[in-house]
Amino acid sequence: MKILLATNNENKYKEIYSKFKEQNLPFELLSLNQVTNEKIEIEETGSSLEENALIKAREVYNLFKIPTIADDTGLEVEALGGLPGVNSARFSGVHGNDAENRKKLLGLLKDFPLEKRNARFRTVICLYDGTEPKFFEGVCKGKIIFSERGSKGFGYDSIFVPENYEKTFAEMELGEKNRISHRSKAISLLIDYLKHYR
């Protein structure tokens, strides 16, 4: 049976593919570029991570009629009422400008002491096959530090220290980050569900 991952991001595909392989799931996981030569760009118009994941999964399913998984991730900072949240990728106004997004967030938090800098990364994965959508959520709690550390990772990784760790996500090797990350937790829940999916 085939399952389609609604992403053009090869790193995301490899991460999920390796977890499928580990669990020996009886599915062939496909990325978008394995089913089409066209660049599929889907506008994320939802007001929540759940809505955006569903928009992507449903649109791609409707195009190819293959059960589809899609995800959306946000960083939620307690002191800012959950911002940047669903707007994490375009917090500075330009989609995907990671450096400006981090700069804006650090500026908003400049007067907050470390104990008031609680945050969490949250990933929501949606599985859509033309029937009722299924959602799987993974959360990683931590704190936003005062300045950037580390050169690995992307997004807000260089200013986020997960709970019970000293290093930022950007100072961790990929394997270490993937053991505790929000996305990894959501993928694990998806895989548990897929073990009984027909």
Q: Which residue numbers are catalytic?
A: 72
Q: What is the dihedral of CA 101, 179, 119, 159, to 10 degrees?
A: -40
Spatial CA neighbour of 52 closest among 65, 68, 71, 74 = 71
Q: What letter does residue 7 receive in the DSSP assignment?
A: -
Q: What letter does residue 84 receive in the DSSP assignment?
A: E
| Ordered DSSP codes for 132-198 | S-EEEEEEEEEEE-SS---SSS-TTGGGEEETT-SS-GGGS-HHHHHHH-HHHHHHHHHHHHHTT--
